[in-house]
Amino acid sequence: WANSAALALAGITADSPDPADGRIERLPDGSPQGTLHEGAASLVAAVAPAATPDDEFAALLEAQRYAHSFGITAWQDAIVGDYFGASDTALVYRRALAEGRLTVDVVGALWWDRTRGVEQVPELVARREAHAAELGPASRFRLSAVKIMADGVVENGTAAMLEPYLGEAGESEHPTGIAFVGGQALTDAIMALDDAGFSAHVHVIGDRAVRDALDAFEATSAANDWASRPSTDARRHHLAHVQFVHPDDVARFAAIGVTANMQALWACNEPQMRELTVPIVGAERAATQYPFASILHGGVHAAGGGAGRGNAGDDVAATDARPRLCAGSDWPVSTPDPWQAIHVAVNRTLPADDPEHDPEPLLAHEALTLAEALDAYTAGSAFINGRGPGDAHVTGVIEVGAVADLAATDRDPFAGPAESIHATTNVGTWVAGRRVFG
């Protein structure tokens, strides 16, 4: 959002056109209302006050402390590089490393400039190689991934959908949303990144964006002979968010060998879902949201949910180390507390004491067991970050030889009803055997 002063400084008026990858919300007379969607936000970036390096360093240390308080020992930073005029976060990570104050393990995903094409790949490779040469491949901060924003979000009509939105969104200039990077451009990008040894992290919300990404990975799999690669190959491709997945595409995740990166906290009925999402997509498409259990089980609905101790993804081939699900928070969009998200993954509702709780589960058949959800938030995410089976350093599991990245809770979440999972509290966090919280 931008106030009138910021709009004036940026020169945004009634005559300003919408950028190709965004939208300026307008009043009836055409003047800017103050809400800038997606790429339109970049119009005010040049006039926004910049944080100082010391501010950013203090923010990183506070974010690290906060993450450790929830038992988090690693993350993937999805925006490293030039993003809407913001400073490059790699600089602050490198300072924390140099001062011996970085205790989390971080994969930095270099930002894909959607105004350019594959000509930027050599620049990304050069940056990755220079970073690795200086800090070493075992550094706590690695530039091994690239983030591509394939589309926007559904609430403002910018998620790329296969069919038009309902109501005003469907009558806009982009009735099926906006594919920031889609079709052949996305295939070319994925293929080039795979060739270069990068893990591709692709933001996908709409069912068209999901299909475009799966098409891109499928084409890359055939062209680059993924069948001959070990499942522990260093390229850990994943699709983030996967809100709307057409039924025809659910089984393709397993068939192709890419991972769905879920933000499970979002998979529930709450005001944003009821008021901003369902009305513009309709009931039929609303029933294709966050199909976590179906993706995990290869397109077959699981006998889902509950706090059972069953194995996660029993149908996954034992020789395939690639997880079908990993999980994250998208913080600061949502809380980084994994237990709140795991609660929703298992129950498909917010906790009963949440003021936005709706007792009706969102597609209860897509609920995960507690074991499955925990596996996604631990071993699944560790694998995506290059810390899984076959890697030099293994985290996300408790076994002989694994790194002692551990979190202790105040209760056994399996011991009580599924409805109480959210009450689980972290009381201690260890990184490589050293206590960093509690």
DSSP assignment string, 235-266:
---EEEE--B--GGGTTHHHHHT-EEEE-GGG
Q: Which pLDDT score, from 0 to 100, does residue 273 have?
A: 98
State yes or no: pLDDT of 70 exceeds 80. yes
Read off the pLDDT of residues 270-328 as tens digits, 9 standing for 90 and up.
Answer: 999 999 999 999 999 999 999 999 999 986 544 444 444 333 333 333 346 689 999 99
| All domains of the chain in start order, with CATH | 4-47 (no CATH), 53-433 (3.20.20.140)
Instruction: Report the pLDDT value the prediction gives residue 101, as an integer from 0 to 100.
Output: 97
User: pLDDT tens digits for 129-174?
Assistant: 999 999 887 789 999 999 999 999 999 999 999 999 999 888 888 8
For 186-202, write each residue's pLDDT tens digit.
999 999 999 999 999 99
Regarding predicted confidence, which is higher, 303 or 349?
349
State the pLDDT at residue 312.
33
Which residue, among 40, 250, 303, has the nearest Cα to 158 in the 3D structure? 40
How far apart CA 290 and CA 266 sit, in angstroms, is 8
Contacts of 427 (CB under 8 A, 6+ apart): 408, 409, 410, 438
Per-residue pLDDT, 401: 95
Q: What is the pTM of this model?
A: 0.90
| Residue 85: band (very low, low, confident or very high) from pLDDT cuts 50, 70, 90 | low
What is d(CA 340, CA 361) in angstroms, rounded to the nearest whole number?
15
Please give the mean pLDDT across all residues of the chain: 92
The strand pairing partners of 141, in sequence order, are 106
Pair type for strands 434-437 and 426-431: antiparallel
pLDDT at 41 over 50: yes
User: What's the pLDDT at 89?
Assistant: 92
Can you tell me the mean pLDDT for 351-370?
Answer: 97
Higher pLDDT, 418 or 19: 418
pLDDT of 428 reads 98
Cis amide prior to 332 (ω within 30 degrees): yes
Q: How far is CA 159 from CA 184, 214, 266, in A?
A: 18, 16, 16
Residue 405 has pLDDT above 90, yes or no: yes
